[in-house]
A and B are shown apart, each in its own frame.
Chain A
């Protein structure tokens, strides 16, 4: 139960009045606010905060158009159902996509862990597994888009209800799918670096002259988990609502 103790410690720190003083001390200190944190991590986090605002704006505008239309919204449970053995199963593809993405998040978390252990081979294969699951997700999304477009969904209309359904769907899942695709490309790049031993040898990357190390696997992981995080919100608000 050791990890839970650790969580408990963090929880206690938040309730501790000296915690706020510690934060004030960090932010008022010279040069670095985030002590002992490799710079790549806050940079990735700040990017992810900006991305949070992008997806937040998409989901909120989706709420606004859905709330302002007089025509009922198409029933997503039926729109995204698949016929299996002659039976219609609601949201089947979306559920599978959710499990694939969660699993990729799991393998990514393990990859970060094995990276810090400097276990090159395991880290490489876990990154490859993450990329493969991500590519599977994008493939299923492509299938879903094809199916819906064949059934007549367009950004300006669809056969089942409010015309705004199509534009919200293509915009939100399209942006998310783009994020997953970019993530898969970077996963492959990081996996190649791990396999070549760039991170053990501290070889600089192609983009910057900074020396490589296993922190880049964690930074990559932050991006990948964020993609999974966004899907959690899309799944709840767009598909289940």
Chain B
């Protein structure tokens, strides 16, 4: 492997000689991988549901939800949307731009902190119907 000459074909050259007739065009892979990913997505969904079911709190809840979320998203994009088999130029053109959202995320987080800070100053720490509850400490 190792040379980029392999990337352009992107038809899963190594592993499906059996479907030689069918994979002259487009993405053609053995069915098994789709069933495996399907199963994995089920397992990961059950796992993230259990996080809520067992009322895990704090950092553990937060980190588990995010880990399961990114695993699921990665599996869908990589296998169901065939990203692992695509040409690198396409992969980078699609995957890199959404990283800009991190900037917006940071701006949003700063703005939220600033807003709740001003509200605490001008309306008092205690909101009308919520004694002493900090906005991030839900549940």
Contacts and interface: CB of A to CB of B under 8 A. Distances in A.
User: A and B bound?
Assistant: yes
Interface of A: 2-3, 5-7, 9-10, 12-14, 16, 18-19, 21-23, 26-27, 33-38, 41-42, 45-46, 48-49, 52-53, 56-57, 60-61, 63-73, 75, 77, 90-91, 95, 98-99, 102-103, 105-106, 108-110, 112-113, 116-118, 161, 213-215, 218, 221-222, 225-226, 228-229, 232-233, 235-237, 239-241
Contact of B32 (A3, A48, A63, A218): A3
Given A70-B119, A90-B53, A3 B76 contact: no
8 contacts: A60-B108, A63-B105, A66-B135, A69-B116, A70-B126, A102-B38, A236-B48, A236-B69
Interface string B107-139: 011011101100110010011111001011111
Contacts of A229: 73, 76-77, 81
A212 to B, nearest CB: 13
Interface of B is mostly: helix
Contacts of B28: 113, 116-117
A2 B14 contact: yes
Interface string B31-60: 111110110011001001101110100000
Contact of A77 (B35, B66, B115, B139): B139
Contacts of B97: 49
Closest 10 CB pairs of A and B: A67-B112, A2-B15, A22-B4, A70-B127, A68-B115, A26-B89, A236-B69, A106-B38, A64-B108, A3-B33
Contacts of B98: 49, 52-53, 56
B22 to A, nearest CB: 5
B112 A19 contact: no
A218 B14 contact: no
Interface of A is mostly: helix
Contacts of B82: 218
A206 B110 CA distance: 49
Contact of A36 (B51, B73, B87, B139): B87
A91 B113 CA distance: 29
B48 A102 contact: no
B134 to A, nearest CB: 8
Contacts of A3: 12, 15, 29-30, 32-33
Nearest to B139: A75
Contacts of B138: 72-73, 75, 241
Contact of B87 (A37, A48, A218): A37
Contacts of B6: 9, 13
B26 A214 contact: yes
B89 A33 contact: yes
A62 B101 CA distance: 14
A72 B130 contact: yes
Contacts of B2: 12-13, 16, 18
B34 A106 contact: yes
Given A105-B76, A113-B34, A225-B81, A218 B26 contact: yes
Contact of A18 (B4, B9, B48): B4
A116 B26 contact: yes
Nearest to B82: A218
Q: Report which residue of A7, A49, A60 has the largest number of chain B beta carbons within 10 angstroms of its beta carbon.
A: A60
A240 B48 contact: yes
B4 to A, nearest CB: 4
Contacts of A46: 94
A53 B35 CA distance: 30
Given A13-B88, A226-B81, 7 more contacts: A49-B94, A66-B112, A68-B119, A73-B138, A90-B53, A98-B45, A103-B38
